[in-house]
Amino acid sequence: MAKSIDVSDLNIYYGDFLAVEGVNMTIRAKAVTAFIGPSGCGKSTFLRTLNRMHEVIPGARVEGKVMVSGQSLYDPAIDPVAVRRQIGMVFQRPNPFPTMSIYDNVLAGSKLNSKKMKKSEADAIVEKSLRSANLWNEVKDRLGKAGMGLSGGQQQRLCIARAVAVEPEVLLMDEPCSALDPISTAAIEDLIHELKTEYTIVIVTHNMQQAARVSDDTGFFNLKATGEPGHLVEFNPTTKMFTNPDEESTEAYISGRFG
């Protein structure tokens, strides 16, 4: 079941450097939330804190709270691997496992979780996941072929299928279309609309039009000054953000006057 995420007083550090400061927001369940802002303002850094990937960087840490259904993701008793299973991630560039077939790529997460399954169960997971990623009809007759043999857009949808195969509650997407052509981008955007009926989806994008097209809520991150921490300037429903933002800097960024 898709779940909401409550973030309060979140500070994100790389060693002693405060990279993102004082984030407060509620990410709604079964909605698409987009984060926009200029390069270097902390969007992707913040995204990685939502499934504890930030802390794999030596010296990286957070202060504050990230809560999913009343449970702190950073509670010492919580296994980070379990968090990353619950909150999946799709990266900027498609990254199918190069030595694996399409079939095995989809099942990779399930196998890493040491889940033993019958062939019929594995087949069902592969078909369901590829259907969820709108890829089944394109690859059903070549499941044994290498995932790297697919087009860029197909590879990204394969990575989405791999992410949903372990049945997460939240999907994080870090600029999922930046390496894709317009046709593939449109396919991924259509897929995002479909997936939000089952998942809470959070995306980072530099594409203002994409944020306006796919998201229900939008957060604008920015730097107060060069060398200062990134911060959340504004977080509102997307329609408001793109028509009547609260902050002048939000309007300036969206209209292209800076960034």
pLDDT of residue 171 exceeding 60, the answer is yes
The residue to which tokens 């990266």 are assigned: 91
Question: Which domain range does residue 36 map to?
Answer: 5-99+168-254
Instruction: Give a yes or no: residue 121 inside a domain.
Output: no
Which of 20-24, 26-30, 84-88 shows the lowest per-residue confidence on average (mean pLDDT)? 84-88
CB-based contact 127:136 (threshold 8 Å): yes
Instruction: Give a yes or no: residue 112 inside a domain.
Output: no
Instruction: Give strand pairing partners of 65.
Output: 8
CA separation for the pair 22, 20 (Å, rounded): 7
Instruction: Give a yes or no: residue 139 inside a domain.
Output: no
pLDDT value for 115: 65
pLDDT interval class at 5 (50, 70, 90): very high
Instruction: Give a yes or no: residue 179 inside a domain.
Output: yes
Q: Which residues contact 100 (CB under 8 A, 6 or more apart)?
A: 108, 146, 147
Instruction: Give a yes or no: residue 120 inside a domain.
Output: no
pLDDT of residue 225 exceeding 90, the answer is no
Instruction: Give a yes or no: residue 128 inside a domain.
Output: no
The total number of structural domains that make up the chain:
1
CATH number at residue 174: 3.40.50.300
Listed residue (224, 183, 215) closest to 42, CA to CA: 224
Task: Classify the C-alpha dihedral 85-88-90-91 as positive or negative.
Answer: negative
pLDDT value for 258: 66
pLDDT tens by residue, 147-165: 999 999 999 999 999 999 9
CA separation for the pair 217, 239 (Å, rounded): 8
- Please list the alpha-helical segments (H only) found in the chain: 43-49, 80-86, 102-112, 119-132, 136-139, 152-164, 182-195, 208-214, 238-243, 248-254
pLDDT value for 132: 93
CA separation for the pair 41, 119 (Å, rounded): 46
pLDDT tens by residue, 106-145: 999 888 766 678 899 999 999 999 999 999 999 999 999 9
What is the 3-class SS of 149-173, one letter each residue?
HCCHHHHHHHHHHHHHCCCCCEEEE
pLDDT of residue 259 exceeding 60, the answer is no
Instruction: Give a yes or no: residue 28 inside a domain.
Output: yes
CB-based contact 36:211 (threshold 8 Å): yes
pLDDT value for 69: 83
Distances (CA, A) of 56 to 46, 90, 144, 169: 14, 17, 33, 21
CA separation for the pair 86, 106 (Å, rounded): 16
Mean pLDDT of all residues in 18-31: 97
The predicted model scores a pTM of 0.92
Instruction: Give a yes or no: residue 115 inside a domain.
Output: no
